[in-house]
Structure 1
Amino acid sequence: MLRAFHRWPGLLAALLLLVLSLSGAALSVFPAVDRMGTVAAAPGQTVADLAAKVAESHPAIEQIRRAPSGRITAYWFDGDTPRAAVIDPATGQDAGSADPSALREWLTDLHRALLAGDAGRWTTAVAALAMLVLALSGAVLVARRQGGWRRILGPMRGPAANRWHGEMARLAVLALALSSVTALWMTASTFDLLPADDANPAFPAEVSGRTGLSPAGMPALQAIPLSDLRDLTFPYAGDAGDVLTLTTASGTGYVDQGTGALLVWATPGVWTRAGEWIYLLHTGEGAALWGLLLGLLTLSVPVLCGTGTLVWLRARKARPALRGMAPADRAETVILAASEGGSTWGFAQALGRALQDAGQGVHLAPLSGFAPGSYGAARRILILAATWGDGDAPSTATGAVERIAGTRPHPTASLAVLGFGDRNFPAFCAFAEWLDAAARQAGWRMLLPLDRIDRQSPQAFARWTRTLGQTMGIPLDVTHQPALPRSLPLTLATRRDHGGAAQAPTAILRFALPRRGLLDRLTGRGLPDFRPGDLLGILPEGSPVPRYYSLASGHADGFAEIVVRKHPGGLCSGQLTDLAPGGTVRAFLRPNPAFHPDRSMAPLLLIGAGTGIGPLAGFIRANRHRRPIHLWFGARHPQADFLYQADLADWTAQGQLASTATAFSRTGNRQHVQDRLRADAGRIRALVAEGARIMVCGGRDMAQGVHEALADILAPMNLSPDGLKQQGRYAEDSY
């Protein structure tokens, strides 16, 4: 519901918002131009001094106005012809034309009323309301996507259009909300929909009846600094009963033209003062830098419109359609899917069609739209949830665990959770496990025990659907063959071979990056930007199941580098280690933000063994700010598989690597990396006391050994790897 509340105002009002944002951005430049073109008044100059000089230059002066920018304009009659000019406050002489440019007048009318009078003003008010809805709902959606308000400023992941949309929204949401609120206020004021409490003093009952006193000799004007002036209107020539009308930042009053005394004074009310602030905040008049900043942030609207449209189009294309789908409030079975790459949606669609064929009313939706209160006729809710990274939720389902845990169980529907993942990762189906545990703790009735699908196995999915059908009392046997991930060819540029002497052939493979333009980035074509620690999915010939390798480089390096060890009988590792320069593989990118270094300058402890050094080498290579990085690396033999040996020496010389500690298991001093950690326990404790972060990469057994060793090392400090992980100071990527 919230996504629809955000989506449709944006799609329907996109063109109107573009017109208003671009015209508003253009208008934001004028206050700065006015400020730069205005001659500053002398320090301490008063209204009396200015009025006297202008009256001397223009004896028929009728009015002097001072704009928020400081520009002073005089109005007078030359015979029967009205005149106006910008005034130099130092001399009272004309300094330029007072007529606004035709472009400025046209932009102002376009921005305020779409060149259509009152009807245009109402239309712009509707657009402002749409922008307010978009800003508020967008902020909530970004917070939900990030996993809560406390994480709203954290790194974003996902396709380029999604990231640009979210990043721009975070940057501009407050300014856009403020701009829309102030626009609505000004529209309401234009149509007299707000209370009026302007300063309107009653005309004085008695005046001196004298004339001829120069403004320079008027005490009331002498007491007002020129910087406070808003407007000074002179009395009608020859009318001894008339007065000067003075308006300043603090109110309006009448001044006797014969004595110069202040006769009556009135101050504006709260509504008028609020309106003045609203005008300043919306236009920047009187605050040129704020106006420029507001205009710059307003330019985010075209970016948001473009990226938002791309996100919507991609979502429509990626989300499988289910013909004849029942509305959420009438469906007997509600299927909710959480997918990072889109493959889980295919399983959800296949299940939905099979249930429809069995006579069920089915509603298919993303898990992000979990809303049990809308499922009035539901008998069962089926959640198909993918896990990726270190037990991470898909980017569209962040925060789902908390929502399920905080939702009352449905009165008639039971719940079942099916997890999708890869057993090569230690956090296999962890997100699905958390969803299942949260539902049980919240008191939901479970239709089936939690089950797991390894690497999108069609056979395992068919088995689960048969169990589901038996529980429902209907025949069900769903076979779904997932489509291959969208990939592109990568060409091997260079390779470095190791490990032959240790009977463990290992290669550092460097692939050239295909060219990718801005349009490719926004539409998600080509290989997206990546960082060391992200995953490169390789599709081996003869298999639909991708294999994942941690990247040892970032997009800024200009190449994609991975480290591969040949496993006996390994299909993908065998093909990769046999690949010659110039050969190609099919590949795609999977972000892995859970295994990225933070951006602090705290010491970073990198621990890895074998091919696990890949992403760690990438972190060191990217350490251009000379963060203190300390590496513990384990291998079999220094002459056989000391990966990146020469690079590590160069990085140390360049200050990108502070220290390296090695452990070799097939030398005279047999050691594994966890043994070397125990030997360096004192230094590790000192670094952790300085706030060090720890990142571990390698085989599952190695990672477990490192975890145990660090638990012993940190115990005297009342710390543990799990405790550091909760603080964001420990990350592990094992396989």
Structure 2
Amino acid sequence: MLRKIHSLPGLIAALLVMLLGITGAVLSLDPAIDRLGTSIPAHLSVAELAGRVVAHYPGAEQIQRTPSGGIIVYYRSDSGAGADRVDPLTGSRIEPYVPSAFARWTKQLHRSLLLDTTGRATTGITAIVMLVLCVSGLLLLVKRVGGWRQVAGPLRGNRSQRWHAEVGRIAIAGLLLSALTGTYMSAATFSLVSDGTQDEPDFPATTSGGPPAPVARLPALAATDLAQLRELVLPDPRDSAAVYTLRTSQGDGYVDQSSGKLLVFRAHSGVRDTYELIYKLHTGEGLWWLGLLLGLCALGAAWLAATGAIVWWQRQRAKPRIAGNSPAQSAETLILVGSENNSTWGFARVLHDALRKAGQRVHTAPMNQAPFQRSPARLVFILTATYGDGEAPSSANQFLAQLARRAPDPATKFAVLAFGDRQFPRFCQFGKDVDAALGALGCQRLLDLATINRQSSQEFARWGLAVGPLLGLALDLEHTPAHPKTFPLYLRERIDYGIEESEPTVVLRFDAGASPAPAGPLQRLFRRHRLPHFEAGDLVGIIPPGSPMPRFYSLASGSRNGVLEICVRKQPHGVCSTYLHGLQTGERIDAFIQPNPQFRPASGKAPVILIGAGTGIGPLAGFIRNNTGKYPMYLYWGGRNPESDFLYEPELKNYLADRRLTQLHTAFSRVHNGVHVQTRLTEDADNMRKLIENGGQVLVCGSSAMAGSVRMALDEILAPIHLSVLTLKTNGRYREDVF
């Protein structure tokens, strides 16, 4: 529901939001431009200013002070009426005052779409829409990242989703302010709320009637600071009954031209002061720096409208299109899907097609539309994502409540496949809740709950291999999510480890050059800029020949290092690892980048604890390589044998020498009295607790089995200081990249 509240108004008003955002950004420049050409003297009275102006302009009729402090004089001369910008220190002319026709047109377009009353109503409604979009977008962001504490943390999703959310959280404060003030001002335009406008003060019944005194000597004007002036209308000196009209930020009044006394004064009401403050906050007039900030945020509104439309279109394209979906009343098998952004439906479609190919009648539907009461099916597969911090995705947010009212037959067999991201403290929590609820109803598990991290196609295929034999079927579940366009890479260097082992490891370094011949400095610089942007810890997707399914490897370098580096162990029957191990220098592969911003050290000087095993050292070595600030970094790494696969040994020794790496703790499992990395953590427990108490963050990379052992060891280590891995995850200080 919250997503609909956010997306539907956004789509309907997208063009208007873009128009108001762009025109608002243009108008935000006016206060800054006005302020650039303005000198603002301190402690200058209106009387002094008026005396200087009149000395240069005997025919002066009106003096105005702009919100940014500029002084404008309107006058009559023998050549006719005119208006000049003047220097308040001397009263002399700076330049003619000619309001910009473009600025006036832009302001009318921004305020009323050049349509007068109808246009003003439309822009007012758009301001309300912007307010709804800001509030709903903020709430969606909080849910998406897993709580308010994570709202400034790394963002997930595809490129359009990340850019939409990133710009949104940067611009949200300015957009909220503009939407709130714009809504108020629109309501005041249509008299829905008062703007505090009041009538002119009552004209004085009598004046002194004496001869006009020099304006520079009038007491009421001498007592008024120039900073308070809005407008001073000068009287006709030939009319003894005429008075000065004085308008200030506090109120309006009349001044006797002979005695200089304030004859009448009407102070502004609190409502008027409120309106003027809101007007200033909306336009930036008088607060030029705020105007520029709001202008940047207004450009963000245009960006958000465009990227929001793109995200919506991508979601529409990803909506389920299930071919051969049998009616629920005749289905043998149900596939129920819980998804927020429709990505889980791609996996469901592959399972649906595989079961149909095996001769089964299958009905696939959203979890909220589970047809338990009208389907004879006694086999149920549930594929569900978890949204935010353990919550149900939109297509499954009513499922658990429906189970309580319309439970499936206890003879039903079920299997839950949960999709999530291990960076969230409550990884796949909704899938776990669904599995527990069905079990509590007496339904029979076909297979224990399985989880898939970050939509891994490989993990999905392995799940299919486990499910197939239980059904007496061969389930070949190959799902290839849409991925970015690939780019070519050429192997420049390989470093082999453990060649005599059955599972050797190789470090591969690629660049974007087209020729295997060595390049000079200029060529290497050019090639470096041809690499797409990536950071150590991001993922590279590689599609091996003969397979549609990409394999992902953590990057041990950033694009600024000039190479793309990965560390690969040859897996038994591994299609992609075998392919990569067979590459020779100069050969080409095609790849794409999948950003992984949640797995990298946070900025700051807090200690960084890096824990890994095997090829998990790749991104950790990249983090150390880029630690040019030489902040505290501690590496705990486990390998097999120091003689054959001490990965990155020369580099790590150099990093220790130049202090990019503070300490190195290694563990080798295939030597006498071999140990694992979690043992090294336990041995260094006192230091570990000290680092964590000093704000240290933990990054773990390697196999899921290793990561599980590390979590158990750290929970024991942190127990005396009343902390846990879950607590660190919740605070964004524990991050994993496991496989």
TM-score range, shorter chain: 0.7 to 0.9
Runs of 5+ in structure 2 lacking a partner?
327-333, 452-458, 515-529
| 480, 484, 506: which one aligns with 2:480 | 484
Correspondence list, 1:56-71, <5 A: 56-71=55-70
Distance in 2, Cα, partners of 1:240 & 1:290: 45
Distance in 2, Cα, partners of 1:168 & 1:3: 18
Alignment pair present for 1:33 and 2:30 = no
Aligned residue pairs total 691
| 407, 417, 420: which one aligns with 1:420 | 417
Correspondence list, 1:280-679, <5 A: 280-321=280-321, 335-338=336-339, 342=343, 344-347=345-348, 364=366, 384-385=382-383, 393=386, 399-401=390-392, 409-410=401-402, 412-414=405-407, 419-420=416-417, 431-432=427-428, 434-437=430-433, 449=445, 451-452=449-450, 455-456=460-461, 481-486=477-482, 488=486, 490-501=489-500, 504-512=503-511, 530-541=534-545, 547-585=551-589, 587=591, 589=593, 592=596, 595-665=599-669, 670-679=674-683
Question: Using a 3 Å threshold, how does the CA distance of structure 1 residues 212 and 720 change in structure 2: closer, same or farther?
Answer: closer
Distance in 1, Cα, partners of 2:354 & 2:364: 8
Give the partner amino acid of 1:313: W
Question: Using a 3 Å threshold, how does the CA distance of structure 1 residues 99 and 712 change in structure 2: closer, same or farther?
Answer: closer
Question: Using a 3 Å threshold, how does the CA distance of structure 1 residues 697 and 59 change in structure 2: closer, same or farther?
Answer: closer
- 1:499 is displaced (CA, Å) by 0.8
Deviations 1:134-161 (A, max 9, x none): 2222222222221233322211022111
Give the partner amino acid of 2:338: A
Percent identity, aligned pairs only?
Answer: 39
Distance in 2, Cα, partners of 1:314 & 1:659: 46
Structure 1 window deviating more from structure 2 (228-237 vs 1-10): it is 1-10
Deviations 1:105-130 (A, max 9, x none): 22222222233333332332233233
Partner SS state of residue 73, structure 2:
strand
Question: Using a 3 Å threshold, how does the CA distance of structure 1 residues 359 and 533 change in structure 2: closer, same or farther?
Answer: closer
Question: Using a 3 Å threshold, how does the CA distance of structure 1 residues 713 and 349 change in structure 2: closer, same or farther?
Answer: closer
- 1:222 is displaced (CA, Å) by 1.1
Partner SS state of residue 157, structure 2:
coil
- 1:297 is displaced (CA, Å) by 1.7
| Counterpart residue number, 2:130 | 131
TM-score, normalising length: structure 2: 0.80
| Counterpart residue number, 2:158 | 159
Distance in 1, Cα, partners of 2:474 & 2:613: 42
Give the partner amino acid of 2:97: A
Deviations 1:264-289 (A, max 9, x none): 21111122112211221121111111
Deviations 1:350-371 (A, max 9, x none): 759999x99999864xx8xxxx
Partner SS state of residue 401, structure 2:
coil
Deviations 1:166-192 (A, max 9, x none): 010111122122223322333333344
Distance in 1, Cα, partners of 2:370 & 2:271: 47
Partner SS state of residue 691, structure 2:
helix
Partner SS state of residue 400, structure 1:
coil
Question: Using a 3 Å threshold, how does the CA distance of structure 1 residues 462 and 8 change in structure 2: closer, same or farther?
Answer: farther
Partner SS state of residue 203, structure 1:
coil
Structure 1 window deviating more from structure 2 (282-291 vs 338-347): it is 338-347
- 1:582 is displaced (CA, Å) by 3.7
- 1:18 is displaced (CA, Å) by 2.5
Partner SS state of residue 510, structure 1:
strand
Question: Using a 3 Å threshold, how does the CA distance of structure 1 residues 320 and 195 change in structure 2: closer, same or farther?
Answer: same
| Counterpart residue number, 1:8 | 8
- 1:223 is displaced (CA, Å) by 0.7
Question: Using a 3 Å threshold, how does the CA distance of structure 1 residues 105 and 418 change in structure 2: closer, same or farther?
Answer: farther
Question: Using a 3 Å threshold, how does the CA distance of structure 1 residues 320 and 446 change in structure 2: closer, same or farther?
Answer: farther
Whether contact under 8 Å (1:350, 1:478) holds in the other structure is: no
Structure 1 window deviating more from structure 2 (538-547 vs 254-263): it is 538-547
Distance in 1, Cα, partners of 2:500 & 2:179: 69
Structure 1 window deviating more from structure 2 (428-437 vs 499-508): it is 428-437
Distance in 2, Cα, partners of 1:136 & 1:73: 41
Whether contact under 8 Å (2:212, 2:237) holds in the other structure is: no
Deviations 1:201-244 (A, max 9, x none): 22223322223122222211111111111111223443323322
TM-score, normalising length: structure 1: 0.81
Structure 1 window deviating more from structure 2 (479-488 vs 577-586): it is 479-488
Q: CA RMSD in A?
A: 4.4
| Counterpart residue number, 2:188 | 189
Give the partner amino acid of 1:26: V
| Counterpart residue number, 1:143 | 142
Give the partner amino acid of 1:116: L
| Counterpart residue number, 2:212 | 212
Whether contact under 8 Å (1:38, 1:70) holds in the other structure is: yes
| Counterpart residue number, 1:519 | none
Distance in 2, Cα, partners of 1:55 & 1:210: 20
Whether contact under 8 Å (1:251, 1:268) holds in the other structure is: yes
Question: Using a 3 Å threshold, how does the CA distance of structure 1 residues 60 and 683 change in structure 2: closer, same or farther?
Answer: closer
- 1:261 is displaced (CA, Å) by 0.9
Question: Using a 3 Å threshold, how does the CA distance of structure 1 residues 52 and 383 change in structure 2: closer, same or farther?
Answer: farther
- 1:498 is displaced (CA, Å) by 0.8
Distance in 1, Cα, partners of 2:364 & 2:706: 46
- 1:303 is displaced (CA, Å) by 1.9
Deviations 1:564-604 (A, max 9, x none): 22344444433332222344556555555554333332222
- 1:448 is displaced (CA, Å) by 6.6
- 1:610 is displaced (CA, Å) by 2.6
Deviations 1:543-581 (A, max 9, x none): 566554333223443443222223444444333322223
Distance in 1, Cα, partners of 2:363 & 2:671: 67
Partner SS state of residue 299, structure 1:
helix
- 1:46 is displaced (CA, Å) by 0.9
Give the partner amino acid of 1:104: A
Whether contact under 8 Å (2:419, 2:428) holds in the other structure is: no
Distance in 2, Cα, partners of 1:621 & 1:74: 64
Partner SS state of residue 271, structure 2:
helix
| Counterpart residue number, 1:330 | none
Structure 1 window deviating more from structure 2 (76-85 vs 345-354): it is 345-354
Distance in 2, Cα, partners of 1:512 & 1:195: 65
Partner SS state of residue 609, structure 2:
strand
